[in-house]
Chains A and B, each alone.
Chain A
């Protein structure tokens, strides 16, 4: 009853606070309101399941046999899937997952090699099946590359092992024959399994600075110089790394030259995004018509899964996210920028820190002298006859302009986008002509994209970013959900 009496005063105080509030009064009221939030029956969120799931992650062994045993993945899925609808449980799990998944573990290269052999042994002479198998192989190769490049013991964490284990369970599931089940039953089983794996993957990738199912924190991809390495030193033939790293690196340089593209974090992004894509593809199978094929893989061939998201698209997507960070008053960006500025005692941008809205149009609000000061502080040099301040200006404008284009008109038709991008009206450019622009763009320009990305960067960024922006305004989860809906509707 005492609780009720105290609480009964709140309403009047709320009104008082909201009409003539002091910080002290608000703080006092806030404490009482917070106190009221407790359940009088003493019921707390049930955290037994998330705690059990954390224990499962903690118990991950790293010897080859246990890693290739699908029981681990089953246990993970079983322990995690039970509380996915519980907000507090998920929050608790994610916060505790930090320590559990960040723990370095020993090498599991042998296990990855074995998994690759299993996937490679899947036979098919069908082009569609081959494509799907290629997707598996890409995931596994990413894992293998991870081991090779990072030397295993240095950076490999339980989180990577969780990803591996889940992928392993799916490959094993796909390797099974139909036996006495019908194709439809097996198909459903695989899709359900992929959905479960997807849920766990989303959780394990959600907690991280590489939140690829939510708001990608680009800053998380950039490490300090001591942790990361210059992309210029990435000498392998992975063009994605080069393109991605160069682009990100260039954007990062106007924040700080001390930051470098992190290959470790890139690798994690690579593996996780591939894994997610793999799961989404499998999840789509039931929505695709099939003619009751004799084998799973021939059935999957019927699915004709080909929505085409590749890691190359990630370049566009990530840059889009980066520009949105700048444009959406997102605290990640301002914090990042603010920290840098504070650390370097740069006063020129103080107004930008304090008045975040200025970031919406930074070039216009900055005076030439400020631009010069910033360019000098960031170590930006003259380029192609342009003064450093103009080089800086062009960087900022690229990001700013793109973010403007990518952020609007999400529900217009694709042709409207093309017209908008080309500054044409419907009368000036028909749908057919707009279609031709796409065709030309992809056949003539993007064909060389990976080799000469800088040359087409602007077009590529805003075009692909805008196209993806139609479907994706909240990360890959939304993107894939939309794609899934498309498949459902088409069938």
Chain B
């Protein structure tokens, strides 16, 4: 019995020793290959999502330079002031849940009961399942295209799901906040009627912060009036840091750019220099001491430094945009994450059919370039979308499936994105 007691005491002493170091432990979600979260920053592009996450070679619309800076070589002016997009994941499970639909109905009619939002939140969290997932994503930003230059400021909040088990009891939600400033330019190196060659570079200054995973069962009760502010600012450890990734792109235009072939290398130099903080308030105070007032008696812990390497990707794109009045069709096809595939060519494991798993393709028809419908295939999963492009306002929506597992078929997840933008954005 004594041994048992000593052992229990040792546990407490061990824990206490750690608390006593006054250093906030580093929390990582990027190391376990089966559960690693992708922390590379990518603004949400509703049009791109609707077209099967393809469109690297598209040179139209303002947000093209976020995926391929060479598109800026096609000079012009566009302004988005601001744009906001919301993406919600795992919608299909909610639509197929009569109770959830009933709650949605009551929400719309303003007849909700106190427990409805918590129930809805619980359902969302239960639907995330095992492994990694995303709950929701919100983007807000401004962007401008001025001749060959592009500027963008984006703030993105993502809610990751991570579950080492299989039930909601082991489900964690990991909020991630990104603030990014993008500067890009593109130049035409060759510019003839039948042949053009353009190159571009974009540099992103990204500041990233992510929280230590919050237990799902802690979240649902917060919906009904819990102390969210305290949880978000002071109670949950946060890892924060910066990176300066850059993208390069090359476009080869044929037949007056009716056909475009592109190659991009994205997220180069994607190493984030991170530090641990006891809370988001401490992170803010590290920039401006005293900006936020911690609760009385709260002890501040020291930060610990670490780095996160986010992967770069090599991609190829194709776009066919013939001049067809009224319909304005566009067909796109991208081969994404090709570096490893190219390296494997020639090996006994290499199969040509695997190329399909890197293929994203899509099509768009723009009625008078005002009302647009889109569709696509992303690694075999379907997506659809629509857009309304008015002189000073654009609305885009996309619905589709994508793979969140390690292999195709492991974990398909659906998402709905709605993007609203004020400003001018024409071809």
Residues of B within 8 A of A435 (CB): 16
**Chain A to chain B contacts (Cβ below 8 Å), 6 pairs:** A7-B384, A14-B416, A46-B407, A86-B407, A330-B217, A411-B235
Q: Does A353 interact with chain B (Cβ within 8 Å)?
A: no
Instruction: Considering the complex, give the chain A residue whose CB is closest to the CB of B375.
Output: A4
Residues of B within 8 A of A337 (CB): none
Chain A, 38-65, contact with B by CB distance < 8 Å: what is the 0/1 string? Answer: 0111011110000000000000000000
Name, among A39, A90, A91, A324, the residue most crowded by chain B CB atoms within 10 Å (CB to CB): A39
Residues of B within 8 A of A356 (CB): 115
Instruction: Considering the complex, give the chain B residue whose CB is closest to the CB of A464.
Output: B8
A91 and B381 form a contact (CB under 8 A): no
Within 8 A of A (CB), among B369-427: 373, 375, 377, 379-386, 397-401, 404-412, 414, 416
Q: Contacts A11-B386, A308-B7, A413-B19 known; A467 to B118 CB distance under 8 Å?
A: no
Q: Contacts A7-B382, A12-B386, A215-B169 known; A37 to B401 CB distance under 8 Å?
A: yes
A414 and B19 form a contact (CB under 8 A): yes
9-residue interface stretch from A105-113, A145-153, A374-382, A468-476: A468-476
Q: Does A213 interact with chain B (Cβ within 8 Å)?
A: yes
Q: Contacts A30-B92, A37-B401, A450-B1 known; A8 to B9 CB distance under 8 Å?
A: no
A329 and B382 form a contact (CB under 8 A): no
Q: Does B10 interact with chain A (Cβ within 8 Å)?
A: yes
Q: Does B189 interact with chain A (Cβ within 8 Å)?
A: no
Contact partner of A11 among B25, B379, B399, B410, CB < 8 A? B399
A88 and B411 form a contact (CB under 8 A): yes
Instruction: Considering the complex, give the chain B residue whose CB is closest to the CB of A33.
Output: B92
Instruction: Considering the complex, give the chain A residue whose CB is closest to the CB of B126.
Output: A331
Within 8 A of B (CB), among A303-322: 306-310, 312-313
Instruction: Considering the complex, give the chain B residue whose CB is closest to the CB of A310.
Output: B4
Residues of A within 8 A of B1 (CB): 447, 450
Within 8 A of A (CB), among B252-300: 297, 299
Residues of A within 8 A of B192 (CB): none
A474 and B95 form a contact (CB under 8 A): no
B5 and A486 form a contact (CB under 8 A): no
B373 and A307 form a contact (CB under 8 A): no
Instruction: Considering the complex, give the chain A residue whose CB is closest to the CB of B408.
Output: A43
9-residue interface stretch from B61-69, B96-104, B151-159: B96-104
A33 CB to closest chain B CB (Å) equals 4
Q: Contacts A328-B217, A413-B299 known; A474 to B131 CB distance under 8 Å?
A: no
Given A39-B380, A46-B407, A330-B169, 12 further pairs, Cβ under 8 A: A11-B399, A15-B397, A17-B101, A26-B98, A27-B96, A30-B92, A36-B401, A86-B405, A88-B409, A306-B14, A474-B171, A486-B18
B9 and A86 form a contact (CB under 8 A): no
Q: Does A438 interact with chain B (Cβ within 8 Å)?
A: yes
Q: Does B195 interact with chain A (Cβ within 8 Å)?
A: no
Q: Does B233 interact with chain A (Cβ within 8 Å)?
A: no
B375 and A23 form a contact (CB under 8 A): no
B409 and A214 form a contact (CB under 8 A): no
A23 and B101 form a contact (CB under 8 A): yes
Q: Does B122 interact with chain A (Cβ within 8 Å)?
A: yes
Q: Does B228 interact with chain A (Cβ within 8 Å)?
A: no
Majority DSSP secondary structure for residues of A touching B: helix
Complex Cα distance, B8 from A443, in Å, reads: 11
Name, among A87, A442, A473, the residue most crowded by chain B CB atoms within 10 Å (CB to CB): A87
Complex Cα distance, B10 from A307, in Å, reads: 6
Within 8 A of A (CB), among B122-142: 122, 129-131
B410 and A87 form a contact (CB under 8 A): yes
Instruction: Considering the complex, give the chain B residue whose CB is closest to the CB of A486.
Output: B18
B5 and A206 form a contact (CB under 8 A): no
Complex Cα distance, B1 from A312, in Å, reads: 10
Chain A, 19-36, contact with B by CB distance < 8 Å: what is the 0/1 string? Answer: 111010011011101101
Residues of A within 8 A of B91 (CB): 14, 33
B170 and A477 form a contact (CB under 8 A): yes
Instruction: Considering the complex, give the chain B residue whose CB is closest to the CB of A309.
Output: B11
A-B pairs, 8 with minimum CB distance: A215-B169, A85-B34, A308-B7, A45-B409, A30-B96, A214-B165, A308-B11, A39-B380
A446 and B384 form a contact (CB under 8 A): no
A411 and B237 form a contact (CB under 8 A): yes
Complex Cα distance, B407 from A330, in Å, reads: 32
Q: Does A181 interact with chain B (Cβ within 8 Å)?
A: no
Q: Contacts A43-B380, A307-B14, A414-B15 known; A20 to B108 CB distance under 8 Å?
A: yes
Residues of B within 8 A of A312 (CB): 4, 8
Complex Cα distance, B407 from A430, in Å, reads: 54
A87 and B405 form a contact (CB under 8 A): yes
Q: Does B166 interact with chain A (Cβ within 8 Å)?
A: yes
B414 and A37 form a contact (CB under 8 A): yes
Q: Does B105 interact with chain A (Cβ within 8 Å)?
A: yes
Q: Contacts A308-B9, A411-B236 known; A206 to B165 CB distance under 8 Å?
A: yes
B5 and A470 form a contact (CB under 8 A): no
Q: Does A490 interact with chain B (Cβ within 8 Å)?
A: yes
A475 and B170 form a contact (CB under 8 A): yes
Q: Does B172 interact with chain A (Cβ within 8 Å)?
A: yes
Complex Cα distance, B8 from A356, in Å, reads: 36
Count of chain B residues with Cβ under 8 Å from any Cβ of A?
87
B194 CB to closest chain A CB (Å) equals 31
Instruction: Considering the complex, give the chain A residue whose CB is closest to the CB of B95.
Output: A30
Instruction: Considering the complex, give the chain A residue whose CB is closest to the CB of B400.
Output: A36
Within 8 A of B (CB), among A426-468: 426, 435, 438, 442-443, 446-447, 450, 464, 467
Q: Contacts A356-B115, A473-B218 known; A8 to B167 CB distance under 8 Å?
A: no
Instruction: Considering the complex, give the chain B residue whose CB is closest to the CB of A40.
Output: B380
A206 and B412 form a contact (CB under 8 A): no
B377 and A40 form a contact (CB under 8 A): yes
B122 and A329 form a contact (CB under 8 A): yes
Contact partner of B12 among A31, A215, A357, A467, CB < 8 A? A467
Q: Does B346 interact with chain A (Cβ within 8 Å)?
A: no
Name, among B96, B122, B169, B405, the residue most crowded by chain A CB atoms within 10 Å (CB to CB): B169
Complex Cα distance, B376 from A7, in Å, reads: 10
Contact partner of B407 among A11, A34, A45, A470, CB < 8 A? A45
A87 and B411 form a contact (CB under 8 A): yes
Q: Does B33 interact with chain A (Cβ within 8 Å)?
A: yes
Q: Contacts A8-B375, A11-B385, A486-B18 known; A475 to B169 CB distance under 8 Å?
A: yes
A10 and B399 form a contact (CB under 8 A): yes
Q: Contacts A7-B384, A23-B98, A467-B15 known; A94 to B92 CB distance under 8 Å?
A: no
Complex Cα distance, B96 from A29, in Å, reads: 8
Residues of A within 8 A of B114 (CB): 357
Residues of B within 8 A of A46 (CB): 407, 409
Q: Contacts A26-B98, A85-B34 known; A310 to B164 CB distance under 8 Å?
A: no
Instruction: Considering the complex, give the chain A residue whose CB is closest to the CB of B234.
Output: A411
Q: Does A232 interact with chain B (Cβ within 8 Å)?
A: no
Q: Does A355 interact with chain B (Cβ within 8 Å)?
A: yes
Instruction: Considering the complex, give the chain B residue whose CB is closest to the CB of A216.
Output: B169
Residues of B within 8 A of A7 (CB): 375, 382-384
Q: Does B356 interact with chain A (Cβ within 8 Å)?
A: yes
Instruction: Considering the complex, give the chain A residue whose CB is closest to the CB of B133.
Output: A87
Q: Does B248 interact with chain A (Cβ within 8 Å)?
A: no
Q: Does A351 interact with chain B (Cβ within 8 Å)?
A: no
Residues of B within 8 A of A471 (CB): 15
Residues of B within 8 A of A309 (CB): 7, 11
B115 and A355 form a contact (CB under 8 A): yes
Contact partner of A21 among B35, B101, B384, CB < 8 A? B101
Q: Does A168 interact with chain B (Cβ within 8 Å)?
A: no
B371 CB to closest chain A CB (Å) equals 12
A52 CB to closest chain B CB (Å) equals 16
Complex Cα distance, B118 from A324, in Å, reads: 16
Residues of A within 8 A of B414 (CB): 33, 36-37
Q: Does A485 interact with chain B (Cβ within 8 Å)?
A: yes
Q: Does B220 interact with chain A (Cβ within 8 Å)?
A: yes
Complex Cα distance, B384 from A3, in Å, reads: 11
Residues of A within 8 A of B215 (CB): 473-474
Instruction: Considering the complex, give the chain B residue whose CB is closest to the CB of A357.
Output: B115
Q: Contacts A12-B386, A308-B9, A414-B19 known; A91 to B166 CB distance under 8 Å?
A: yes
